[in-house]
Structure 1
Amino acid sequence: MLATVLSISTSSAAVPSWRRATRTITTAACFLPMSLSFGTSNNILLHQPNTDRQIWMRSRHSKQSYHGIIGRSSNSVSSRIAGILSAEGNTCTSNNNISVDYTTYPPPDDSFMDHMLYRVNEMNIIPRHIKSSLIDFVVDGHVLGRLTPQIAQLLISNNKDGIFELSSSSNNGGDDLSKPTTTFLTLGTAAGTTFEQRTKSVSKVMTNLHNLGYISGWRNELYPVSDTFDNSKLQQPLFLIERAAAPTLGLLEYGVHINGLVVKNLQHDIMNNSNDVQMWMARRSQTKSKYPGYVDHIVAGGQPYGLSLMENVIKECMEEAGIPEDVARRGIRPAGAISYEIYSPISTASGTTAAAAFADQGSVGWGAINRVVLFCFDLYLPQDFVPKAVDGEVESFFLWGLDDIVKSMDPECTDPIKPNCYPVIIEYLIRSGVVSSDSPKYLEILRKLRSGPCC
């Protein structure tokens, strides 16, 4: 079974830019029976680490390197790969005379691709006039976030101690006019210099803004603040911040989203037939501060301080869906990441005078920037397993086929999935071959799945 996985663009950095050629490479996974072999001597079967799979690779003559069993330029990806065996001069032999269907899913129609693009664009909305006005939030030379000048002034005016302050970077003493002076927000000396001091100082300001109605959805969850997901830096962040307050500073937020999959014929692999695949979905509690009653992933959550990604996944599986640790560890598979940036105007849902006044000061710039990286995981669950609500954040669980998921992407759908789940699901549909690389807008969707910072 053949399934397109993704496309990447490459160019050679060893030549001048004016001579550099850019290539778009589509990668695909072709699942073959164990009895299948390739006749030429330069093909070799390599074991894929940490899995029960092996991969056919082809050794390059006179070079100690390997590359894909098939490789050739093509105008039509699916039609070209359909003839892969004969195209490379390899003889396909099978002791059991097993016939292999080297077909892929047909390209989805234009409307489906438009719906997918609509759902991806939902999570990548920053008006041009807002984006051009953003300033950096910088601490110890590290750019940690991005925010509007209006929000920066709000932070400064709501702390008398000088915890936040504006600063400027020089243009090399004024001699280099090509590098104009830039203004940025930073922590003042009153915020302290240690991890503990900064955490306490920032918490004081954010708690005050929350009490005044500027920050809603308070969670009492602390996020580590760093300029990258490098694990060593996350274990020694510059400070911690309440999760609900992170968008106020436009900080990078990290989370995990899990596709809970049930496969009827697992021995044929998930890519054999999309009708064999179902996905467990959750109905969010009506008491949730954001998107109450929406359809959601079976498990999803923010990445807290002090846990690895896998530790967080196992914890969230038990807390949100009652999935035992042994079931989660046996079925979980890391599956990449998506990222997005979105501008969220301040809501007056709290009804407080301060929040209303805040919103009335003008629509331009009075909002927060969500900059998010979501790590994707596939969780293969037994057919007889039924998740259960544990922490009160979910009303119910139910199974959806891929057709149900596809229908929910229609902008007119009356029971949609929570918006930030769609990029994760769309990435899964692409990765599993349900969406062909011959599809219209394919590369545009791929590019926008990581429109935000992915670092």
Structure 2
Amino acid sequence: MSVLALQCRGYGGGSSAPCSPGAVAQVSGGVQFQGGEEAGAESRPCLLPREIISDGQSAAETEGGEEIHLLAGLEGRASLKRSLPQKYEVMPQFSDPPLMCMERAATSLFGVKRYGVHVNGFTRQPDRQLAMWVARRSLSKQTYPGLLDNMVPCGCMFVWGIGSQKGIRDTLIKECAEEASIPECIASAARPVGTISYTYEDGEGVFSECQFVFDLEVPSDFSPHVGDGEVHQFYLWPVEKVKDALVTEEFKPNCALVVLDFLIRHSYLHPDTEPNYLELVVGLHRPL
């Protein structure tokens, strides 16, 4: 069975993806990636649209130059219509070599596991209490415009391309600079503190995601600044205000999970006073 057919059946993700019968990839020359003959590891298809939507089909090229067409059933998806071409490396498990690369916007159509990096930015006030830097997403963003976000939500990793040898810290440093104008001398102090994982489904597919979480304590006299336009504004809030916002619908959902993890790890939530403490901890680490 081919890589694409396995991904279509939720290979490695534990759930079936919403793949329509027409959502078939076909390499020019007659090789089909749905059952049948193996394509061979050396072919390693790369689903990267030259034009996301073009006369009912989406064209792409493999690394060897072969064309792949995403046929009827995918072209009407809103996520593809609004996407910018970005490579995303597909692998069964995080440490595995990539099997193929795919247009990032199409990953949810096949239930592909996605990995990202999120940074909790905080500082210590004169009374030694923590205050968190919170970002408000750009009002013109195509997804969750105007909602609250982590200081640096680095989003999906592995959009560098196969063989780039870029990793988690490379993504963190790059996105800190682009989104929040944080220089490398500060961003490099970010500490890895674990992961959160979750799966959800909406009208655009199945999202099976793991976020690598970092805490970054910034100097009290430092302020992040809007960089590439992904953020509308930054706020420095005391933790109690962050907690109040967390129970509303003001946070982007997955960013709320990252903040919740921060509050648990820094003992702002306690098992003696939070009746749902155990459920919250377990819910942040769902198997993918």
Please give the TM-score of this superposition, normalised by the length of structure 1.
0.51
What amino acid does structure 1 have at the position aligned with 2:167?
Answer: S
Residue pairs, 1:161-310, within 5 angstroms: 161=30, 163-165=32-34, 167=35, 189=37, 193-199=41-47, 200=61, 204-206=68-70, 211-213=75-77, 215-216=79-80, 217-230=82-95, 233=96, 236-264=97-125, 276-301=129-154, 302-304=156-158, 305=160, 306=164, 307-310=166-169
Counterpart Cα distance in 1 of 2:198 and 2:270: 23
Cα offset, 1:144, TM superposition: 3.9
State percent identity of aligned pairs: 31
The question of whether the paired residues in 1 share the 8 Å contact of 2:17 and 2:110 is answered with no
The partner residue of 1:408 within 239, 242, 245 is: 245
Instruction: Say whether residues 1:156 and 2:11 are aligned partners.
Output: no
**CA distance 1:137–1:260, change in 2 (3 Å):** farther
Corresponding position of 2:235: 398
The question of whether the paired residues in 2 share the 8 Å contact of 1:137 and 1:249 is answered with no
Instruction: Say whether residues 1:370 and 2:224 are aligned partners.
Output: no
Instruction: Say whether residues 1:336 and 2:171 are aligned partners.
Output: no
Residue pairs, 1:124-135, within 5 angstroms: none
What amino acid does structure 2 have at the position aligned with 1:251?
Answer: V
SS in 1 for 2:24: helix
Unaligned runs of at least 5 residues, structure 1: 1-135, 168-187, 266-272, 347-367
After superposition, give the CA deviation of every residue in 1:251-309 in whole Å (9 maximum; x if it has no partner). 110000100101125xxxxxxx7x71111111211221110111111111211243111
Instruction: Say whether residues 1:443 and 2:278 are aligned partners.
Output: yes
Q: What is the RMSD of the two structures over their aligned residues, measured on CA atoms?
A: 3.0
**CA distance 1:384–1:144, change in 2 (3 Å):** same
After superposition, give the CA deviation of every residue in 1:185-209 in whole Å (9 maximum; x if it has no partner). xxx5485642544553598345976
SS in 2 for 1:399: strand
The question of whether the paired residues in 1 share the 8 Å contact of 2:23 and 2:72 is answered with no
Counterpart Cα distance in 2 of 1:197 and 1:157: 10
Residue pairs, 1:59-98, within 5 angstroms: none
Counterpart Cα distance in 2 of 1:207 and 1:215: 16
Counterpart Cα distance in 2 of 1:281 and 1:208: 41
After superposition, give the CA deviation of every residue in 1:222-273 in whole Å (9 maximum; x if it has no partner). 111111111xx3xx311111111111110110000100101125xxxxxxx7
Cα offset, 1:317, TM superposition: 0.5
Counterpart Cα distance in 2 of 1:203 and 1:405: 49
SS in 1 for 2:83: coil
Counterpart Cα distance in 2 of 1:250 and 1:213: 15
Corresponding position of 1:426: 260
**CA distance 1:156–1:400, change in 2 (3 Å):** same
The question of whether the paired residues in 1 share the 8 Å contact of 2:149 and 2:255 is answered with yes
After superposition, give the CA deviation of every residue in 1:11-46 in whole Å (9 maximum; x if it has no partner). xxxxxxxxxxxxxxxxxxxxxxxxxxxxxxxxxxxx
Structure with more contact order per residue of length (Cα contacts < 8 Å, sep ≥ 6): 1
Q: How many residues align?
A: 258
Instruction: Say whether residues 1:312 and 2:166 are aligned partners.
Output: no
SS in 1 for 2:144: coil
SS in 2 for 1:151: coil
Cα offset, 1:410, TM superposition: 2.5
Counterpart Cα distance in 2 of 1:303 and 1:149: 21
What amino acid does structure 2 have at the position aligned with 1:263?
Answer: R
Corresponding position of 1:379: 216
After superposition, give the CA deviation of every residue in 1:317-353 in whole Å (9 maximum; x if it has no partner). 0011000000111x3111100000001124xxxxxxx
Q: Which of the pair is proportionally richer in helix? A: 1
Corresponding position of 1:345: 203
Q: Which runs of 4+ in 1 moved over 3 A?
A: 144-150, 157-164, 188-193, 195-217
Counterpart Cα distance in 2 of 1:240 and 1:220: 12
**CA distance 1:451–1:243, change in 2 (3 Å):** same
Corresponding position of 1:82: none
Cα offset, 1:404, TM superposition: 1.5
Unaligned runs of at least 5 residues, structure 2: 48-60
The question of whether the paired residues in 1 share the 8 Å contact of 2:27 and 2:67 is answered with no
Counterpart Cα distance in 2 of 1:419 and 1:280: 17
